[in-house]
Amino acid sequence: MLKTCLFPAAGYGTRFLPATKSLPKEMLPILTKPLIHYGVDEAREAGMQNMAFVTGRGKRALEDYFDISYELEHQISGTKKEYLLSEIRDLMSACNFSFTRQSEMKGLGDAIYTGANLVGDEAFGVILADDLCINENGKGVMAQMVEIYEKYRCSIVAVMEVNDESIKNYGVINGKEIEKNLIVVNDMIEKPDPADAPTNLAIIGRYILTPDIFEIIKTTSPGKNGEIQITDALLRQAKNGMVLAYKFEGQRFDCGSIDGFVEATNFFYGHLNGNK
């Protein structure tokens, strides 16, 4: 059973300025819960109890969220509002939370490498909280991926089909299908031009990584945009072993964009009011 989920959360969230000048983008709320809460819920559903965060300067709100707020809790103790804290209290009692800082923004690969001391020498999940994923008909995306990991014991990336116009924003995979919706990766390209993309299968913010990825990242040169890309490290891992891509069941909202954030808000608000 995978125990740890890593949450890279050091980015600036510039698409949401000025709100993210002082508020981490992972703390932006979909209705009454911040994005990071949905991510931790998904990891917990997948059986993970150790929640490890890679943050940066100005991200203290993430640590405070998963801590006791004595003054607030005292003020609403015994009132009709106390139940509003029941979900976060439940998470805090069920999970362990640890934090480290990425000193310089050098890409997702570097952010994951920064979390090595929190993860240890075991396979782990990775969730990018601004990719909000749900599956109304069954298990969450990370729980689905854990089942695949238990069978194949290798790194796994979640993928979805995207249109040509969007392909330049993603890492893109190519490979051979071995089961329905499960592909052995033989190529990965970070943010290709549409003409250069081998497929329309884009990697989204869900990964399961084996611990040897840290040594691979350590010797991976900066790639696209001068950053250390996890895509480049995973390609090296795929060439020397096996990496799987999984076309997950469910729906993903790109809450790192304003359009996706509004879409997610409308979706959850509709469900809150029974308007599916």
Residue type, 81: K
Give the pLDDT score at 115: 94
Q: Is 84 exposed, middle or buried (0-12, 13-18, 19+ CB in 10 A)?
A: exposed
Contact 31, 261 (CB under 8 A): no
pLDDT (tens digit, 9 = 90+) per residue, 59-99? 889 999 998 887 888 788 888 888 888 888 889 999 999 99
Tokens of 182: 């499960």
pLDDT (tens digit, 9 = 90+) per residue, 89-148? 889 999 999 999 988 878 899 999 999 999 989 999 999 999 999 998 889 999 999 999
Residue type, 30: I
pTM exceeds cut of 0.85: yes
